[in-house]
Amino acid sequence: MVDIDDLDRRIIQALMADGRASYGAVGAEVNLSAPAVKRRVDRLRERGVISGFTVKVDPALTGWTTEAYVELFCSRSTSGAEVLRRVEAYPEVIEAFTVTGDADTLLHVFAADMQHFERVLSEISAEPFVARTRSVLVLSPLLRREILSM
Amino acid sequence: MVDIDDLDRRIIQALMADGRASYGAVGAEVNLSAPAVKRRVDRLRERGVISGFTVKVDPALTGWTTEAYVELFCSRSTSGAEVLRRVEAYPEVIEAFTVTGDADTLLHVFAADMQHFERVLSEISAEPFVARTRSVLVLSPLLRREILSM
DNA sequence: CATGAAATAATGGCACA
DNA sequence: TGTGCCATTATTTCATG
């Protein structure tokens, strides 16, 4: 994909395991000095390979425990950009994709409860470009983890 | 959900924006001293509210750019635990849910390319408890962000 | 929870492969 | 270009009030 070498990959993996690990600790894992690790991390950030650092919070503790995937059947060929412009106004929508298959767009939605979800769904359904929706509600999350490839 | 107060919420929000921010910097945002912030973060980790810290990596740079959602129609009522046990063996599966609707289980899958995805899909389809699958391939990710509620 | 001190980590300069 | 080493600055972390 991009010119990141094996050392970069190992640094990223170490930081994926613990994003607050000191550069020295990361360096110990990859056999590099702390300044060397920092320089590489800085460069990875500059190039956009690393877009930032975050905290992993138990999703149940946000208060928004109702999770659903909503397929959008768009009336006519609406552009992805326009769909994005409309759906990003809903903080409940955390992911949006254009997809293959019957539907045109897939939305990943979180809401506080069923009533909240129903309200959001009816609002999205009322958007002019939406012909029809099909929702799949998450009953229980079995697995949630990060991509590890590379 | 859990007894986290407003200060905890603001600390978590600050750390979501920058997971490597110093406790002093976080404290400046929430009007707390660095040690006070650290104690709260330690306690949030102990209680599992904060499960850890990570680095945000450009998904395209992992090399696994083929993304899909796969609905699993299970033969008979297979338990969620058993589904989990089988699908977590695939590193390509990063999320799994039991869901409402026609299908029983929804899988979020990443693969290097179409061939890789096809191979994984046929392997999953061959699992004894899987009667049928329906895949939705992601054409382009329009939006990807975190829950912000709380 | 704040303060202050000691240990630890981050970061910029400099020499070297 | 990229690394290690060193010194300085900043941060973490633990004591005490």
Question: Of B53, B65, B88, which is closest to A53 when you measure between CB atoms?
Answer: B53
**pLDDT tens profile B4-38:** 888 999 999 999 999 999 999 999 999 999 999 99
Q: Give the closest residue to A108 by CA, choosing from A144, A76, A75, A61.
A: A144
How far is the CA of A96 from the CAs of B1, B65, B89, in angstroms?
27, 16, 27
CATH numbers and ranges of domains, chain A = 6-46 (1.10.10.10), 59-137 (3.30.70.920)
Compute the nearest-CA separation of B75 from chain A (Å). Answer: 18
Which residues on neighbouring strands pair with residue A93, listed in sequence order? A109
> In the predicted model, is pLDDT for residue A104 greater than 90?
yes
**Residue A111: closest C-alpha in chain B:** B149
* Nucleic strand D under 7 Å from the C-beta of B63: no
Provide the H-helix boundaries in B51-127. 80-87, 114-125
Q: What distance in Å separates the CA atoms of residue B138 and residue A145, rounded to the nearest whole number?
A: 19
Strand D positions within 7 A of protein Cβ atoms: 2-6, 10-15
Q: What distance in Å separates the CA atoms of residue B2 and residue A34, rounded to the nearest whole number?
A: 38
Q: What distance in Å separates the CA atoms of residue B33 and residue B24, rounded to the nearest whole number?
A: 6
Q: Which nucleotide has the least CA–C1' distance to A7?
A: D2
3-class SS of residue B45: helix
> What local confidence, expressed as pLDDT, does residue A2 receive?
65
What angle (nearest 5°) sits at the alpha carbon of residue A114, between those of residues B93 and B72? 30
3-class SS of residue B50: strand
What's chain B's average pLDDT? 93
- Which pLDDT band, with edges at 50, 70 and 90, does A99 fall under? very high
Q: Give the closest residue to A109 by CA, choosing from A57, A62, A70.
A: A70
* Nucleic strand C under 7 Å from the C-beta of A36: no
Q: Give the closest residue to B141 by CA, choosing from A1, A88, A134, A95.
A: A95
> What local confidence, expressed as pLDDT, does residue B61 receive?
80
Q: Give the closest residue to A140 by CA, choosing from B84, B136, B135.
A: B84
- Which pLDDT band, with edges at 50, 70 and 90, does B1 fall under? low
- Tell me whether strands A50-57 and B130-144 are parallel, antiparallel or unpaired: unpaired
Structure tokens at B2: 């859990």
Q: Which pTM value belongs to this model?
A: 0.86
- CB count within 10 Å of CB A69 equals 22
**Residue A54: closest C-alpha in chain B:** B19
* Nucleic strand D under 7 Å from the C-beta of B25: yes
Q: What distance in Å separates the CA atoms of residue A146 and residue A124, rounded to the nearest whole number?
A: 29
* Contact present, B104 and B72 (Cβ < 8 Å): yes
Structure tokens at B58: 């450009």
Give me the amino acid identity at B134.
R
Q: Give the closest residue to A96 by CA, choosing from B98, B114, B140.
A: B140
The mean per-residue pLDDT over the stretch A12-28 comes to: 95
Q: What residue is closest to D10 (Cα–C1')?
A: B22
The mean per-residue pLDDT over the stretch B60-83 comes to: 89
CB contact under 8 A, A142 and B96: yes
Sequence-ordered list of residues with C-beta below 8 angstroms from that of A50, at least 6 positions apart, any chain:
A12, A15, A41, A44, B55, B56, B57, B58
Query: Percent helix, strand, coil in chain A (nearest 5)?
Result: 40, 30, 30
- CB count within 10 Å of CB B61 equals 21
**pLDDT tens profile A24-81:** 999 999 999 999 999 999 999 999 999 999 999 988 887 899 999 999 999 877 888 9
